[in-house]
Amino acid sequence: MSAKELRGQVAVLTGAAQGLGRAIARAYGERGMKVALIDIMADRLEEAADEVRSLGGEALALPADLSDAKATQRVIEEALARLGAPRILIHNAALLKQRSMLEISLPQWRRELDIILQAAFILSKGVWQAMIDAGGGSIAYLSSGSGIKGFAAEVAYCPGKHGQEGLMKVLAIEGQPYNIAVNTITPGIAIHTPMSEANYTEEHKRDWVDPALLTPAFVYLAGIGAADVSGERLNAWELAQRVGAEG
């Protein structure tokens, strides 16, 4: 699907208030897409929605705590009721609080896991039938090195990201006959975001890049179906270079 064809198409994007999600929201706004923006930070979400509108897109700000199953269900229903079937769902919101096994409590563990994995399930289930009825769609979860490797003090984040990889593999198989592409996508490079400010070493901070450089990858994902790429763990940095060069 060309950039022109994306105009008027619907995107559901979580974690849209700042960081990588905010950069993706801008890129979709520039292409005239209708974007449902979901985040827990209501004020910054309104700013993001204004930004999308100023760039030529349509925006619906839907504040919600994605660790809360009912709130997550409510916002995905509202997004579809107000904007229609999404061409793409990107679950980008996540929380990383570095705590060791000795430090973390069960409620803290649950919260991080629910934002990352439970919300991935609820949001995907929320769009699944609408994407089938529309003849296809694209779903992507933001992955990380923590989706395939273990890191100390990531007792909740790591299993959450690993879980998203498993959910993606199942849904990619089930989505194939309906032309629904399901992938995970990892930044592939150090990015300058609030999460990175809180967690990167000084060495990583020296090389971080603006997350806007990754957005061609997410524009590409907005136009694909299951025959293009599905069931993959994509690298946003590499994909952005490739589709940027092709486009």
Ligand X SMILES: NC(=O)c1ccc[n+]([C@@H]2O[C@H](COP(=O)([O-])OP(=O)(O)OC[C@H]3O[C@@H](n4cnc5c(N)ncnc54)[C@H](O)[C@@H]3O)[C@@H](O)[C@H]2O)c1
CB of 118 or CB of 179, closer to ligand X: 118
- Report the DSSP pairing between strands 58-63 and 180-186: unpaired
Which alpha helices (DSSP H) does the chain contain, by range?
A: 3-6, 19-30, 42-54, 69-83, 106-113, 119-134, 157-175, 194-199, 202-207, 215-222, 236-246
CB of 130 or CB of 148, closer to ligand X: 148
Minimal distance, residue 174 CB to ligand X, in Å: 23
Minimal distance, residue 172 CB to ligand X, in Å: 19
Could you identify the residue written with the tokens 């003849």? Answer: 135
Per residue, what are the HEC states of 118-175? HHHHHHHHHHHHHHHHHCCEEEEEECCHHHCCCCCCECCHHHHHHHHHHHHHHHHHHH
Q: Two tokens at 36? A: 């449902």
Minimal distance, residue 104 CB to ligand X, in Å: 16
CB of 145 or CB of 231, closer to ligand X: 145
Binding site for ligand X (CB under 6 A): 15, 17-21, 39-41, 65-67, 92-95, 115, 142, 144, 186-187, 190-191, 193-196
Q: Which residue is nearest to ligand X (CB)?
A: 19
Minimal distance, residue 92 CB to ligand X, in Å: 5
Q: Are 232 and 99 in contact (CB under 8 A)?
A: no
CB of 102 or CB of 106, closer to ligand X: 106
Minimal distance, residue 22 CB to ligand X, in Å: 7
**Nearest CA-CA partner of 11 in 72, 27, 45:** 27
Minimal distance, residue 150 CB to ligand X, in Å: 15
CB of 155 or CB of 191, closer to ligand X: 191
The span from the CA of 208 to the CA of 228, in Å, is: 30
DSSP, collapsed to helix, strand or coil, labels residue 176 as helix
CB of 122 or CB of 191, closer to ligand X: 191
Taking residue 229's Cβ as centre, other Cβ atoms within 10 Å add up to 17
